[in-house]
Chains A and B, each alone.
Chain A
Amino acid sequence: MKTLADLKKIREKAQEEMKLRGGNTRIKIVVGMGTSGIAMGAREVMKTFLEEIANRNLTDVLVTQTGEKGLSSMEPVVDLIEEGKPKVTYGNMTPEKVKKVVVEHIVNGRTVSDYVVATGN
């Protein structure tokens, strides 16, 4: 390391590793992980989100989990929360649908209306 620019490179990479603690995220993905959600495959859904986001090197996305959301018939349920936009809730998610949501919604900013079960708070 010889310059401030070298230091900046290390810093950016390290900040990326620590982003869970910083809260500088554009989109928060909240997977419903209640008993029924898990029974319907929420773990697979969560895992696919984590893999897809890592593969695409999306640095401003946060994946987290929540409990039962009350939409048991539509599990697994996932909320996408974006700063300044109404919350979008996707239902009946599968790993395939997750891949599409990542490409369409998270990368291109277009809601996948086929999977949407609710919007707003």
Chain B
Amino acid sequence: MSLKRIDLLICCGSGCISAGALKIKERFHEVLQEKNLANEINIIETGCMGPCDYGPVMVIYPEGTFYKAVSPDDVEEIVNEHFIKGRPVARLMLQDEENTFSTQKEVPFYQKQVKVALANCGYIDPESMDEYIATGGYEALGTVLTTMSPQETIDLIKKSGLRGRGGGGFPTHIKWQMVHDNASDEKYVICNGDEGDPGAFMDRSLLEGDPHRILEGMMIAAYAIGANAGFLYIRAEYPLAIKRIKLAIAQAKEVGLMGQNVFGTKFCFDAEVRTGAGAFVCGEETALIHSIEGSRGNPTPKPPYPALQGLWGKPTIVNNVETFGNIPTIFLKGAEWFASMGTETSKGTKVFALTGDIKNTGLVEVPMGITLRELIFDVGGGMTGGHKFKAVQLGGPSGGCLTVEHLDVPVDYESLKERGAMMGSGGVIVMNDTKCMVNIAKFFMDFCVDESCGKCSPCRIGLKQMLDILERITSGHGKEGDIEELQRLGEAVNKLSLCGLGQSAPNPVLSTIRYFREEYEAHIRDKSCATKVCLDLMHFDIDKSRCIGCSLCARKCPVTCITGSREDKYTIHQLDCVKCGNCQDVCPVKAVSRIPGMHPEVITKREAEAKSGNHHDE
């Protein structure tokens, strides 16, 4: 037997896997075998390390060296230089203009982060229960089962101030207390892993990176409320998360950490995975419960709350993956420790999935109350390509947009809600000044129209009406009063819808009208999209002083609407143009440019059509 001297941690979160992490792992196995080093080096697959934009990433211990954007071709060099000669490969390290960041700790992305739920994500092998136990895993469960009563367990959560991480921010202890107080022969714990917001991957990363933590959190909850069965509802698009959580359940059962008489107490627990077909509405707790029961995933009115009548009519708690992920640590480190982080009403930390036009896209965990500026510019590294920050969409299709003036707003449940956004489950989409806010609102509305289950009419019909108006505005047919109509409809849908999906779906539209009303007005009155995103509200034009008359654009135009000659240069016939952009792409001298605003010829044509009653465009 020989001692290992290097732990090579390769990030195998979904992001890095799609960037080729598994091939790199294979290559390491080959090279180490060839060099006869296989028994000196541990190769460990971990969950998401966070900085997905740098992927595939890896960390090499004992030094903690951090390599980014590694390719299979780099493997041999890493082995030869780093593993054999002890000379870390500087070109694979993160560098900016002045510094090289050699270890993971130095990387600026990690500096303002505080990892609670993600503590082990990217640090342990998610398929090894022993590694989870090494970090203190299952100790919280053992302590709770052997030394605390269910009521004491709930009281401790109450003291910690933990609130639901799935979106609403409902205090966790209140749900638990309701189910605890509700005597019943059967009760259930459900872990809501039906994460469906565009651009969100917090739950997936947690389930993939540290599955035992979620199980432990669920079991503590089960003990507190008196349940002995639980379900994890995870969408089928997350095959790796499902595989790892199933493996974790099997491992825990094998050693008796799950099953009958856990830790020699009377507590018995069994968990099962249920895969969802990927309907956004199934993230709503009543819809989720119906889906587990085998019926169509439609929401039902509350009350009765699931805490009274949930799964199969029995008292049930539904908590988000991240909520469960916080629980073991709260018991290990204490409620006071947890409550010492965050703001008056929002305690602890929050995991965010940073996406969009920022440098460090990825998975982060920061203390509640951090400002948006710190989140976007310090942790996120600022905007890419020298563009300016324009807006940030928090909470996905249920949330709202905030702007430059809100950058110093602390990120907590109340501050965000006051300003028309919401914490949501943690999706953060950062947008630069090339994005059209009307178009963004249309995108989210389109998503919600698709995902509306159709059970209640405000959501089914109201959202479709809103989408129609948005499509009208972005195609140049907007009219006076459209903005007010959107607001009226939005407020009605918000008040009248049955479940959270409909109630929150108008948020992106309402918040963009609130903060970017002038963009809507320019679309409607001036027929102009300043960002040149809405194709009907911009046009292409050839600058004759730059045109060299090469005819490339005319030859590449699919509708032959460009004519001219070497002498006269080329002209685009606006009425026929389909805005494909080929001419701009092929022009060797950059004479073709996008101009905001509908071309006057098109406006005249449309007006003439409108007068003659020929509305075929609408």
Contact = CB atoms under 8 A, between A and B. Distances in A.
- A-B complex is real: yes
Interface of A: 1-4, 7, 10-11, 13-15, 17-18, 20-21, 23, 25, 28, 30-35, 38, 43, 46-47, 50-51, 53-55, 62-67
Contacts of B3: 50-51, 53-54, 63
B256 interface: yes
B2 A54 contact: yes
B539 to A, nearest CB: 58
Contact of A20 (B2, B6, B133): B6
B263 A62 contact: no
Interface string B1-24: 111111101000000000000000
A66 B256 contact: no
12 contacts: A2-B261, A2-B263, A11-B133, A11-B136, A18-B124, A20-B42, A28-B62, A31-B86, A51-B2, A53-B3, A55-B1, A64-B5
Contacts of A13: 130
A7 B131 CA distance: 12
B134 interface: yes
A34 B9 CA distance: 24
A35 B86 CA distance: 11
Contacts of B4: 20, 50
B133 to A, nearest CB: 5
Interface in B342-397: none
B142 interface: yes
A67 B134 contact: no
Contact of A15 (B9, B134, B139, B143): B134
A14 B83 CA distance: 24
A33 B264 contact: no
A53 B5 CA distance: 11
A49 to B, nearest CB: 8
Contacts of B134: 11, 14-15, 17-18
B603 interface: no
B85 A14 contact: no
For chain B, the bracket of interface size reads 35 or more
Given A3-B263, A43-B84, A47-B40, 18 more contacts: A3-B264, A4-B263, A7-B133, A10-B130, A17-B130, A20-B61, A21-B7, A21-B9, A21-B61, A21-B62, A31-B86, A32-B86, A33-B86, A50-B3, A51-B1, A55-B1, A63-B3, A65-B86
Interface string B521-550: 000000000000000000000000000000
B29 to A, nearest CB: 19
Main secondary structure of the interface of B (DSSP, over half): loop
Contact of B84 (A17, A30, A33): A33
A32 B85 CA distance: 8
Contacts of A10: 130, 133
Nearest to B147: A4
B123 interface: yes
A101 to B, nearest CB: 15
B5 A18 contact: no
Contact of A67 (B1, B61, B86): B86
Contacts of A31: 86
Contact of B62 (A1, A46, A62): A62
A7 B84 contact: no
Interface in B34-52: 40, 42
Contact of B142 (A7, A14, A63): A7
Given A3-B263, A4-B263, A10-B133, A65 B84 contact: yes
B256 A1 contact: yes
Most-contacted residue by chain A among B2, B5, B6 (CB, 10 A): B5
B5 A65 contact: yes
Contacts of B137: 11
Contact of B85 (A11, A20, A62, A67): A67
A33 B137 CA distance: 37
A50 B42 CA distance: 14
Given A14-B133, A20-B62, A50 B146 contact: no
A2 B143 CA distance: 12
B87 interface: yes
A64 to B, nearest CB: 6
Contacts of A30: 86
Contacts of B289: none
A33 B7 contact: no
Of A7, A31, A47, the most chain B CB neighbours within 10 A belong to A7
Interface string B246-290: 000000000111000101100000000000000000000000000
A64 B46 CA distance: 22
A67 B85 CA distance: 5
B63 interface: yes
A77 to B, nearest CB: 12
